[in-house]
């Protein structure tokens, strides 16, 4: 099912949660709505579900205007942030609920068979008789997914699906959700504030800020070509240096980067820690190391330039560096965004 949002607006009291958002999600696509809290991502998801009504604009499911269709008739599967499993029903009863209340009447045997099938899909065979309080967080998450899938939804919506889970469980479930999506091919939208989760999982990432879409594209597109300082910062660690653009070159702390086509003026230079190199001899930006943080996959070096800027970069685990040492930082690549 293709989903289209057209100039959607939502205001709560005086807070403008979503401002004029237009977005198209192709049938079968797996899309992440990524943004900090208050960016409007959950509100957009809830409007697609019909759990909130848009104040302005339209939401289309295929060719049908679904803006005013209530949630119970919209045919969406929704996985809630804290799962919202019915605590007084067993796992199997939770999964069967949607089929039991459906307008399409089903035989009890058919419902039971479908429950077994769904339990197998989410790899919870044998746990059907447990109550939600008796299973782990990761298992609850999978029950919530099975329950949402039980009504054969046209679109699957997940609100912070892994937010309440431990880091290692989260990793496994992420891969597993990707597999399920490939298997079922259902149009899926999920909301997250975790860039790594969005980049790992989604076909397309939609980055939101203050109720607007800031940028969207594949993981590769948004990572390689961030179009704003916000996206650059939000997607991962970045060093920031004040820069000056003159005649197609940006100058910052004595380094120069080619930015042909950019207008002259004040700007900011962004560089990922991996984009910086360290050498004892020049050329480069003179700096001295203030701290070294050892991590399993390398060494993170914190340094201060002569102009007082703080920089972070990574060196190989074997590299001998220590606090107090002087040297030079070279820029392998960087992004420059004009100020104002």
- Point out which residues bind other proteins (CB under 8 A): 7, 9, 11, 20, 49-58, 70-74, 76-78, 80-82, 84-89, 97-98, 101-103, 130-135, 137, 147-148, 150-151, 164
Q: Tell me how far, at minimum, the Cβ of 224 lies from other proteins, in Å.
A: 33
Q: 107 in helix, strand or coil?
A: coil
DSSP 263: P
Tokens in use for 263? 């207008």
Q: Tell me how far, at minimum, the Cβ of 92 lies from other proteins, in Å.
A: 13
Q: How far, CA to CA in Å, does 191 sit from each of 34, 44, 78, 253, 309? A: 6, 9, 11, 39, 35
Q: Tell me how far, at minimum, the Cβ of 169 lies from other proteins, in Å.
A: 13
Please say which residue, 21 or 219, places its beta carbon nearer to other proteins.
Answer: 21
Please say which residue, 148 or 186, places its beta carbon nearer to other proteins.
Answer: 148
Q: Tell me how far, at minimum, the Cβ of 230 lies from other proteins, in Å.
A: 24
Q: Tell me how far, at minimum, the Cβ of 51 lies from other proteins, in Å.
A: 5
Sheet holding 15-25, edge to edge: 15-25, 3-12, 56-61, 64-65
Token pair 């201060």 is found at 304
Q: Tell me how far, at minimum, the Cβ of 178 lies from other proteins, in Å.
A: 23
Please say which residue, 88 or 182, places its beta carbon nearer to other proteins.
Answer: 88
Cβ atoms within 10 Å of 250's Cβ, excluding its own:
23
Please say which residue, 101 or 320, places its beta carbon nearer to other proteins.
Answer: 101
Please say which residue, 101 or 263, places its beta carbon nearer to other proteins.
Answer: 101
Residue 203 to residue 220: CA distance in whole angstroms: 10
Please say which residue, 89 or 321, places its beta carbon nearer to other proteins.
Answer: 89
Q: Which residues does 28 contact at the CB level (< 8 Å), separation at least 6?
A: 185, 186, 187
The count of residues in the chain is 340
Q: What are phi and psi of 227, to 5 degrees?
A: -100, 0
């Amino acid at each position: 099912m293709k989903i289209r949002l057209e100039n959607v607006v939502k205001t709560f009291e005086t807070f403008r949660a979503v401002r004029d958002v237009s977005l198209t999600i192709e049938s079968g696509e797996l899309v992440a709505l990524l943004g900090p809290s208050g960016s409007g991502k959950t509100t957009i998801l809830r409007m697609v579900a019909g759990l909130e009504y848009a104040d302005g604009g339209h939401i289309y499911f295929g060719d049908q205007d679904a803006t005013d269709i209530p949630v119970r008739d919209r045919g969406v599967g929704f996985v809630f942030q804290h799962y919202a499993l019915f605590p007084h029903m067993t796992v199997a009863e939770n999964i069967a609920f949607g089929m039991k209340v459906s307008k399409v009447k089903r035989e009890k045997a058919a419902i039971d068979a479908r429950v077994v099938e769904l339990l197998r899909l989410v790899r919870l065979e044998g746990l059907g008789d447990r109550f939600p309080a008796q299973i782990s967080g990761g298992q609850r998450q999978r029950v919530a997914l099975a329950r949402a899938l039980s009504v054969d939804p046209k679109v699957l919506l997940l609100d912070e699906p892994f937010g309440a889970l431990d880091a290692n469980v989260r990793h496994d479930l992420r891969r597993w959700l990707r597999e399920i999506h490939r298997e079922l091919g259902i149009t899926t939208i999920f909301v997250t504030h975790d860039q790594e989760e969005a980049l790992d999982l989604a076909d397309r990432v939609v980055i939101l800020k203050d109720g607007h879409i800031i940028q969207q594209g594949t993981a590769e597109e948004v990572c390689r070509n961030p179009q704003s300082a916000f996206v650059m910062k939000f997607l991962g660690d970045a060093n920031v240096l004040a820069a000056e653009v003159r005649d197609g070159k940006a100058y910052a702390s004595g380094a120069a980067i080619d930015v042909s086509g950019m207008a002259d003026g004040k700007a900011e230079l962004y560089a990922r820690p991996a984009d910086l190199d360290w050498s004892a001899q020049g050329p480069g930006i003179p700096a001295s190391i203030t701290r070294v943080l050892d991590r399993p996959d390398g060494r993170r070096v914190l340094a201060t330039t002569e102009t007082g800027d703080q920089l972070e970069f990574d060196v190989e685990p074997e590299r001998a560096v220590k606090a107090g040492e002087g040297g030079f930082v070279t820029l392998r690549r960087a992004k420059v965004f004009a100020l104002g």
